[in-house]
Structure 1
């Protein structure tokens, strides 16, 4: 069974509310029942062995708890959960795992020696990881029982989890199977099945997973000691270090979000969404996520996209805007005539449309599309210009994200196991990126082995208002494209030299960035980006002509302006309607404003700014728009 076959990746977050179906769980495959039988034999033997050890080495040990409290326990018998029960019932209900002398422990795993003990709840990063990883096992069990899936890996992520499994050549999960898969997950959690930790030898591991080539390969590569840990939960048996929840009942409900497949294993792992669970309310409701937060109405949606695109190209790093879009096109442009070192760095950028064949289940709003725009730029430079150019890219990225109001995290992704080029070039490129990050001054982390096959990269991650992480911007070094396209320039000494390419995107996908902004703004777009900047509201029909004049003045200045002269509504109703539509400003004009050529200004938050001269008001709006201030309503 080849590793490069088609896979299926399913993502489920925990959810507070769910609806159980009544259909029965299908009969398990024969190999699954055989594996469970062997696990039960090994588990029974381990229980007897531990009971013998506990009886033979019965002794009192000292346990130090947070706050300086010390309690007695019995070696090989007392568990962290029993101590949690002694402390308080609330702690026993909310604890998901323990930390014993710095090591993560199951709550039901007996303590062995004098220990410093700390309880982990869902509020901690470690607790979340335990909770989500336990949820992954439920999904794996459901996939095995319903689909006969061969499990691959199912890790937790920062905000949830996913599971990869193999269904056979050209086999994918059908849409009609998703409700049944979700139903089995619900039944497994409702059954409150315990997670059982088993220590197995290498021979026992090979016997347990003889029908799973992926686990066998993992055992061959990763299990270096005489034993490794296996967890059993219901009919599921999986190779796993743990720890886990006490039982599946702590998970609550699970809701199936998306399914996607990839032909090359785990090359496109994405983080699913974190939602509410049975025990811990985390961040919002699944139904809220499923609905479109905003309907971007034409032609105003065009303004959002164009304003954002203008913002991401208003920097000297983009000296040429093009429409043919992709990396090879820019390489051909570089190569179409002889180049000199005096022309470097040569910076090319465009917002061309890209297309990607996404599985239907993986599409989601604006954040995952089959057709999208990318602010793609390629900088051709000499090797000794690399560090300066990378620093310029980082500075530009920070300036763009600051205006958008986003904080971000940086990650340096280094050489993967499969790469092109010489290791010495990779080492040099990684050192350049690391020096640039250190000089940049923002926190960054190392992401070993996650670079592109052609070069290392700096990835930029941000979160939206729902806490969902998004990988948007990226800065990548590429020594391979210049080699493949035989790109050369005449160096200062007159000899031909080869440039280095920097791939740079700040927004990433424009549509994805709009989706993230929509969540963050909650409909209240900043003035410079807003599709609803100003609405002019005449008090009566006598002021309608002056109101139209004010509208024309605003539109002539390049501002988005509408007119609400609905005589069927009172002035207060029209003002309220404009505020609910999140117009940044309402210009109210009555008899006094008409005679004095002024406007009476209100904001969408019903702050009354008072009477202003129309010409001065238009000029002030232009200043606020051009400087891209995030709070134009407050600083007007």
Structure 2
């Protein structure tokens, strides 16, 4: 008779025979329908439903519709895709295939790129594997045996991965004739996959290094049901229509051309106006909140970057140049110049907090494979601020930043979530300082009673941070605002203030952005609004158009009066049909179309059609201006 194990599950303590599996317990409890639970947590470790339990402990089930359950489903689907690829393209070598946000990918080394027709064949074979309900079976091999196993299959990338794993035994998974190196857990069998779709193919360097071979990356997604998949695919279609690169061309906002260089944005007049409006708004809002405008140089001596720790921890993302035989770093961040301003004279506790704000243009050496329109570029401008305060003021300053972010995100119509990112492996500073900084951020989040997640090891190299991720109109998540708490750089740069007792003490520095990179934020805004910006942000707020040539003089008179009252206006006085002019204005997503005909000219009025409406209303000039100004002032 097997010895028994005590399992705490569903709030109860139950006794089972040793070797029972989570799947057996699931059946015993009669919960779920057998296809809603995909894995389990046992004593804090994720395991398959088929794992024998040989010790007592706490068991929790992982539902397929939970974030972790979806990751497991999608990672398992990546294995099924790899199986299909190997069956159809036996010479292809497999590398890695993780779950990612909204889906999964798998990288393959192939003799030729995959085609759309190849994806169709792979999907068809995957459907057959899914229907076969092939079990996912885990087994363990000593590292030497695992190495020989993959060497015999000529899977050289798996052999390389094994060399980097510092474990005596390695976990492998098999479904059908396909075996992969994997920690797991996985779904019980391929039949759990209900709705999936391969979405695209892209190139990717092995391990993200341009010196390594170029691989073929197949992207896909999977959902617990076909209806959920259909809903997601509809969102993808909508996202294509909202792609900021497409809309940017159509609205003539910006361009990125090879002749200039990848990741470098050229702003056209309308795009530059959009930037100006956002940056002007930011300056006004920061001044209202007690920030002082500052500006630092684009290049600073290398020795400063060495002192700050950027040279050791961030130089792969930096550009360097030499002037008069002195090495300089082109700034990837604005914090150094702000510390130089603080250090320019003796500071008293009465001076603090000091809030320095700069719309600072920075340069970062992003790899060409990750560049993406405005969302990832090599030169961008941050709404960057650094707050230097006493430790006693730290909590209030963090609160003030979060409230600032809330106000701004609410105005733009964004929902958002928060993450607390902790110390990374590559970092500077003492354990004590990191603990103080992390506690300061976390205590503020708790004080606000907001929900947040812990993002282990993803802090900046000099301090932990709160990342605020906004959600756009399609519920996609974007990283913009961040709040970083830093006890380390003030120490490295010997920043001090004279306290009330006459002693010199160290200030704390908060690094923060609200919108983040202006380029990235504009890209997100374009997709969020689908190019139909609110009136206060629209580069062109109104267009005046005539029905015939007879109204030109009156239209020009009205246009000048509108410009004098601050309306950003275009005029379409071409000899074209009014329907054609209206369609063009609608495609340009201009908020107001002002139509001038004989009737308007005779009565001294204007006919106005608002974006998204089919009806034209007649206004006196002053009535329209009053409505217009009210909408602008409210930032609707």
Q: Within 5 Å, which residues of 2 pair with 1:532-543?
A: 532-543=540-551
- Aligned position for 2:136: 196
- Aligned position for 2:613: 606
1:446 to 454, 466, 470: 454
Q: For each residue in 1:348-370, what CA deviation from the matched residue of structure 2 results, as whole angstroms up to 9, or x when unmatched?
A: 22222222222322222221112
Alpha-carbon separation, structure 2, partners of 1:356 and 1:477: 22
1:119 Cα offset (Å): 10
Q: Within 5 Å, which residues of 2 pair with 1:251-290?
A: 251-253=196-198, 255-257=200-202, 259=204, 262=208, 279=226, 280-281=229-230, 282=232, 283-285=235-237
2:173 to 231, 235, 239: 231
Give the secondary structure class of the aligned counterpart of 2:429. coil
- Aligned position for 1:130: 72
> For the structure 1 residues 163 and 346, does the alpha-carbon distance in structure 2 shift closer, same or farther, using more than 3 Å as the test?
farther
What TM-score does the superposition give when structure 2 sets the normalisation length?
0.70
Alpha-carbon separation, structure 2, partners of 1:491 and 1:182: 71
Q: Within 5 Å, which residues of 2 pair with 1:381-460?
A: 381-460=389-468
Give the secondary structure class of the aligned counterpart of 1:546. helix
Alpha-carbon separation, structure 2, partners of 1:135 and 1:411: 28
Alpha-carbon separation, structure 2, partners of 1:479 and 1:515: 33
Alpha-carbon separation, structure 2, partners of 1:345 and 1:478: 15
> For the structure 1 residues 359 and 426, does the alpha-carbon distance in structure 2 shift closer, same or farther, using more than 3 Å as the test?
closer
1:612 Cα offset (Å): 2.5
Q: For each residue in 1:582-615, what CA deviation from the matched residue of structure 2 results, as whole angstroms up to 9, or x when unmatched?
A: 2211222334433444322221122547332313
Question: Does 1:293 pair with 2:293?
Answer: no
Q: For each residue in 1:62-94, what CA deviation from the matched residue of structure 2 results, as whole angstroms up to 9, or x when unmatched?
A: xxxxxxxxxxxxx999989xx9xxxxxxx99xx
Alpha-carbon separation, structure 2, partners of 1:101 and 1:374: 42
Alpha-carbon separation, structure 2, partners of 1:409 and 1:212: 40
> For the structure 1 residues 289 and 579, does the alpha-carbon distance in structure 2 shift closer, same or farther, using more than 3 Å as the test?
closer
Alpha-carbon separation, structure 2, partners of 1:181 and 1:454: 45
Give the secondary structure class of the aligned counterpart of 2:273. helix
Check the 8 A contact 1:356/1:370 in 2, yes or no.
yes
Check the 8 A contact 2:198/2:221 in 1, yes or no.
no
Extract unaligned runs of 5+ from structure 1.
1-55, 58-74, 84-90, 166-172, 265-271, 630-636
1:182 Cα offset (Å): 11
What TM-score does the superposition give when structure 1 sets the normalisation length?
0.70
> For the structure 1 residues 163 and 348, does the alpha-carbon distance in structure 2 shift closer, same or farther, using more than 3 Å as the test?
farther
Extract unaligned runs of 5+ from structure 2.
3-18, 28-32, 152-157, 211-217, 253-267, 299-333
> For the structure 1 residues 100 and 374, does the alpha-carbon distance in structure 2 shift closer, same or farther, using more than 3 Å as the test?
closer
Q: Quick check: 588-597 or 395-404, which moved more? A: 588-597
- Aligned position for 2:214: none
Alpha-carbon separation, structure 2, partners of 1:580 and 1:386: 49
- Aligned position for 2:600: 593
Alpha-carbon separation, structure 1, partners of 2:440 and 2:160: 40
Alpha-carbon separation, structure 1, partners of 2:581 and 2:633: 28
1:397 Cα offset (Å): 0.6
Check the 8 A contact 2:40/2:46 in 1, yes or no.
yes
Alpha-carbon separation, structure 2, partners of 1:362 and 1:548: 48
Alpha-carbon separation, structure 1, partners of 2:489 and 2:396: 21
Alpha-carbon separation, structure 2, partners of 1:456 and 1:118: 32
1:133 Cα offset (Å): 0.9
Alpha-carbon separation, structure 1, partners of 2:122 and 2:466: 43
Give the secondary structure class of the aligned counterpart of 2:409. helix
Alpha-carbon separation, structure 2, partners of 1:405 and 1:498: 39
Check the 8 A contact 2:485/2:510 in 1, yes or no.
yes
Question: Does 1:524 pair with 2:476?
Answer: no
Q: Quick check: 394-403 or 242-251, which moved more? A: 242-251
Q: For each residue in 1:439-490, what CA deviation from the matched residue of structure 2 results, as whole angstroms up to 9, or x when unmatched?
A: 3343212222221221110001123344442211110012222222222233
Q: How many residues align?
A: 524
- Aligned position for 2:304: none
Q: For each residue in 1:396-447, what CA deviation from the matched residue of structure 2 results, as whole angstroms up to 9, or x when unmatched?
A: 1111111111000101112233432121221111111112112334321222
1:517 Cα offset (Å): 1.4
Question: Does 1:484 pair with 2:492?
Answer: yes
Check the 8 A contact 1:536/1:561 in 2, yes or no.
yes
Q: For each residue in 1:34-67, what CA deviation from the matched residue of structure 2 results, as whole angstroms up to 9, or x when unmatched?
A: xxxxxxxxxxxxxxxxxxxxxx99xxxxxxxxxx
> For the structure 1 residues 159 and 467, does the alpha-carbon distance in structure 2 shift closer, same or farther, using more than 3 Å as the test?
farther
Question: Does 1:243 pair with 2:186?
Answer: yes
Question: Does 1:319 pair with 2:296?
Answer: no
Check the 8 A contact 2:62/2:69 in 1, yes or no.
no
> For the structure 1 residues 178 and 400, does the alpha-carbon distance in structure 2 shift closer, same or farther, using more than 3 Å as the test?
farther
Alpha-carbon separation, structure 2, partners of 1:235 and 1:99: 21
Structure with the greater relative contact order (CA < 8 A, sep ≥ 6): 1 or 2? 1
1:622 Cα offset (Å): 2.9
CA RMSD of aligned residues (A): 4.4
Check the 8 A contact 1:138/1:189 in 2, yes or no.
no
- Aligned position for 1:307: 277
> For the structure 1 residues 147 and 477, does the alpha-carbon distance in structure 2 shift closer, same or farther, using more than 3 Å as the test?
farther
Q: Within 5 Å, which residues of 2 pair with 1:573-584?
A: 573-584=580-591
Alpha-carbon separation, structure 2, partners of 1:112 and 1:339: 63
Alpha-carbon separation, structure 2, partners of 1:566 and 1:242: 66
Q: Quick check: 539-548 or 294-303, which moved more? A: 539-548
1:329 to 337, 341, 346: 337
Check the 8 A contact 1:339/1:488 in 2, yes or no.
yes
> For the structure 1 residues 520 and 354, does the alpha-carbon distance in structure 2 shift closer, same or farther, using more than 3 Å as the test?
same
Alpha-carbon separation, structure 1, partners of 2:367 and 2:82: 21
